[in-house]
Amino acid sequence: MSDSKPGRTGEANSSIQQFTPKLSSELGLPSNRIQGTLELLLSDNSIPFIARYRKEATGGLDEVQIGQIQDRYQYLSDLEERRNVILNSIQEQEKLTPELEKSIREADSKQTLEDLYLPYKPKRRTRAIIAKELGLEPLAELMMNQDSNMEVLNDWIQEFNKEREEKLEDHKVLQGAKDILAEQISEDADLRRELRELTSREGSLVSNVKSEFEGKSSKFEMYYQYEEKLSRIPPHRVLAMRRGEKDHVLKIQVNVAEGSVMTLISNHWMKGRSPELRELWLEIFEESYKRLLSGSIETDIRVDLKIQADASSIEMFSKNLRQLMLQPPGGARNVLGLDPAFRTGTKWVLVNHTGRFVKHGVIYPVPPKNKIEEARQELNALLKEHKVDIVAIGNGTASREVFRFVRDWIQEEGHSLETLVVNESGASVYSASKTAREEFPDLDLTVRGAVSIARRYQDPLAELVKIEPKSIGVGQYQHDVNQSRLKQSLDRTVESCVNFVGVDLNRASFQLLEHVSGINPGLARNIVQHRNLNGSYSARNELLQVKGMGKRTFEQAAGFLRVPESENPLDHSAVHPENYSLVEQMAEQLEIPLQKMVGNEEKLKLIDVKRYEEQGIGSYTLKDIIDELHKPGRDPRDDHQTVQFDDSVSEIGDLEKGMKLPGVITNVTHFGAFIDIGVHQDGLVHISRLSKKYIKDPLEVCTVGQKVDAWVLEIDEERKRISLSLNDPGEGRSSDSSAPNKEKGPSKKSHSSEKKKKNREKKRSSSQKTETPIRKSSGNFDEDMAALMEKFNQH
């Protein structure tokens, strides 16, 4: 962030004026809001800053809306840049007609632009180019004449050969003209657009197993012979099939009825042609499509499918990440963090109420060593030496066994301690990271993991920012989507969460500070270094003493930083320093000291809002300030809650159908939600079993970290799969829970259940290769998707 406020160039102002009407139409927002937002974005203001402190300019747009404006503006800017490159290229070729220029200037997508540019794009030496070099273009033009017939074409070929020393066979001359026309058809922008639309509407995505995997089991078995309509295939199946293709297990192709394609091409190109040449033209259409168009259209379709699947998956990942990062904090308490394990022992770490590392050790209270008494003695000695408020146990391997040991120890020894299980996803990644090595250079990585678990209880957000978001385990196919777009979305999510909560300037790590509006990693380190050298900050404006902190950066960051130790109560609030004088005026109006006004509900009701509006203070700003004065520095996150797992189950073998168990949602996907029920293996609730009513999106009814009661439907101990339901199986489900049918699974040509049964029996009874019908979507993907997520995700 530059120290001085950057000025916008004339080019930027021009682009704002150019794109505002289109953005207003696309996003359904007034032009003045779009323009105000773009002006702020292009002046290097962060999205959180704009959303919180510049509501008058945006009309109160939230971060999501501002992000959409930013993304669409960038797309339109890139589109305009590409448009100019294309226009210049065609102009240099002296082939730019007024009609073509008009089409190019009106193109509203990159795909349309590239279609229009295709005939003029530099290309390799094609069959059509060779034919043109031979002088066969006049024959192609003659074939397009409505009065042409084979006799006319043959006469032209004879004349053509008369003038050549090296004669060409008649059929080769004719083929050359057909090559020219086939290429022209393939470069028809309108036809290409309509072919894509036809294929998207009527085509299917088909996958088949490669020969070397026939008869072999793999995680892609459900896709060995599979077909689904392009118009209905959900994002997670697109990504799963692509993964199978990438792993060289599957062959994927796009299928569409050839008759529909030929009809469409004929409708475009047969008009005005000679009826006597109809058969010849049909040959050209077929050749154009099969040789030139089909592969290109399939690529376009698959790219578009991938873009849509990526966007959907990234959106789901970002929503899950936000929910996880905004989990309620446990607060400033002394925490004993335990990282459970069997053979290698359970590592324990004590951190004080500020998160500072105090002491560590290792105990062996569970198999195979079962040193229960030694473990109790070690923990008793720790409690005699240090104050401990709560025990936080990681939810990984041996979690339930260690939990029972700790619970029994507390009860039998009479200690006054709380015990809870903490989601440890990503803790091992953190422990081996550069960040952890810098923070704890002398500690073993297993001990660092226990520190992360303890701190995860105190403040999940402050600890999770140290971990690469992709390693936290709440995504869906995160390694298969566009990585730059994923990073942009996750970075934006982390930034949003950090600024939404606010950051304690005297306790924050540099990893947390670097996500504050306006602060980069280098400045974040400088802020921490200044604190270490000079002691705690006593006021917000002391930040201006930090190397690299200019007025411009301070403006962006100050409102999101809290200084509880400051004598000025506004320094521990979301009131921006630029509005301190306004708040002081309010205190003067009420004739009380500022310190007595802040948090005083009765006095705050007496503020004359209209008086300040008449001074030109915006209503959004006034409302936000007064709301903040009612509860200054409040944490917007919910109160901390814990889930107590059922003591009767600790492993998958303890489960029985029909059991009702407490659990916590660990991941939400497009097809359902995964729930930790305390057996070391998350169970899957299919989307159809998340609610008694019909839902399209699991996030409508569940979030990561949500505490739920789940019923066990199926257990596959061998494959470690658990099928759960949030609906009591004993109660009837709502009639609309299964409608509409297309959401339960695409409509398909299906085999009867009897035929499926026979096919399965035939497969089991014979080791020879058998022909299996293409698998169509059935609508119940519990086991299939659980298997895929088990392989692809970090569960």
pLDDT digits (tens, 9 = 90+) for 46-58: 999 999 999 999 9
Tens digit of pLDDT for each residue in 347-397?
Answer: 999 999 999 999 999 999 999 999 999 999 999 999 999 999 999 999 999
- Number of separate domains in the chain: 5
pLDDT at position 769 is: 35
**Strand-pair category, 335-339 with 346-351:** antiparallel
Q: Is residue 285 part of a domain?
A: yes
Residues 450 and 566 in one domain: no
Q: Is residue 795 part of a domain?
A: no
User: Helix (H, G, I), strand (E, B), or coil: what is residue 277?
Assistant: helix
Q: Is residue 377 part of a domain?
A: yes
User: Across the strands, what pairs with 661?
Assistant: 710
Residues 153 and 175 in one domain: yes
User: Where a domain ends, among 458, 476, 505?
Assistant: 458
Cα-to-chain-centroid distance, residue 749: 33
Q: Is residue 94 part of a domain?
A: yes
State what percent of residues in the chain have pLDDT above 70. 91
CA 24 – CA 75 distance, rounded (Å) = 15
What is the rounded average pLDDT of the residues 746-771? 39
Q: Is residue 487 part of a domain?
A: no
pLDDT at position 241 is: 97
CATH number at residue 567: 1.10.150.310
Q: Count CB neighbours of 352 within 10 A.
A: 18
Query: What's phi and psi for 730, nearest 5 deg?
Result: -80, -15
Domain span holding position 347: 335-458
Sign of the CA dihedral running 555, 559, 560, 564? positive
Residues 396 and 279 in one domain: no
pLDDT at position 8 is: 58
Residues 606 and 696 in one domain: no
CATH number at residue 712: 2.40.50.140
Residues 258 and 291 in one domain: yes
Residues 90 and 130 in one domain: no
Helices 31-41, 10-27: axis angle to 10 degrees equals 140
pLDDT at position 266 is: 97
Mean pLDDT is lowest, of 104-118, 302-316, 723-737, for: 723-737
pLDDT at position 349 is: 98
* Residues 792 and 317 sit within 8 Å (Cβ to Cβ): no
As a whole number, the mean pLDDT across the chain is 90
Going by pLDDT thresholds of 50, 70 and 90, the confidence category of residue 476 is confident
CA 535 – CA 776 distance, rounded (Å) = 66
Tens digit of pLDDT for each residue in 529-580?
Answer: 999 999 999 999 999 999 999 999 999 999 999 999 999 999 999 999 999 9
* Residues 435 and 511 sit within 8 Å (Cβ to Cβ): yes
CA 611 – CA 585 distance, rounded (Å) = 11
Nearest residue to 74 via CA among 133, 12, 29, 21: 12
Tens digit of pLDDT for each residue in 198-226?
Answer: 999 999 999 999 999 999 999 999 999 99
CATH number at residue 382: 3.30.420.140
* Residues 207 and 244 sit within 8 Å (Cβ to Cβ): yes
Asked if the model's pLDDT at residue 296 lies above 90, the reply is yes
Residues 81 and 140 in one domain: no
Asked if the model's pLDDT at residue 700 lies above 90, the reply is yes
Tens digit of pLDDT for each residue in 725-758?
Answer: 999 998 855 444 433 333 334 433 333 344 344 4
Cα-to-chain-centroid distance, residue 24: 25
Asked if the model's pLDDT at residue 794 lies above 60, the reply is no
Tens digit of pLDDT for each residue in 152-168?
Answer: 999 999 999 998 888 89
Tens digit of pLDDT for each residue in 600-625?
Answer: 999 999 999 999 999 999 999 999 99
Tens digit of pLDDT for each residue in 7-31?
Answer: 556 778 889 999 999 999 999 999 9
Cα–Cα–Cα angle for 577, 581, 583, rounded to 5 degrees:
90
Q: Is residue 176 part of a domain?
A: yes
pLDDT at position 732 is: 58
* Residues 335 and 350 sit within 8 Å (Cβ to Cβ): yes
CA 252 – CA 154 distance, rounded (Å) = 44
Residues 283 and 342 in one domain: no
What is the rounded average pLDDT of the residues 692-704? 93
Residues 170 and 298 in one domain: yes
User: Where a domain ends, among 397, 430, 458?
Assistant: 458
Residues 188 and 304 in one domain: yes
What are the strands, taking DSSP E only, across 670-780?
A: 672-676, 683-686, 707-716, 721-725, 775-776
pLDDT at position 425 is: 87
The H or E element spanning position 512 is helix 510-513
User: Helix (H, G, I), strand (E, B), or coil: what is residue 486?
Assistant: helix
Residues 37 and 68 in one domain: yes
Token couple for 334 = 């002394």
Print burial letters for 46-76: b (CB count within 10 Å at least 16), e (below 16).
Answer: bbbbbbbbbbebbebbebebbbbbbebbeeb
Asked if the model's pLDDT at residue 289 lies above 90, the reply is yes
Q: Is residue 323 part of a domain?
A: no
Token couple for 504 = 């304690």
217: burial class by Cβ within 10 Å (0-12, 13-18, 19+)? exposed
Query: What's phi and psi for 246, nearest 5 deg?
Result: -65, -35
**Strand-pair category, 721-725 with 683-686:** parallel
- Residue appearing with tokens 């730019």: 96
CA 290 – CA 284 distance, rounded (Å) = 10
- Residue appearing with tokens 């959401």: 743
Q: Is residue 291 part of a domain?
A: yes
Asked if the model's pLDDT at residue 659 lies above 70, the reply is yes
User: Where a domain ends, among 56, 86, 119?
Assistant: 119
pLDDT at position 719 is: 86
Residues 165 and 262 in one domain: yes
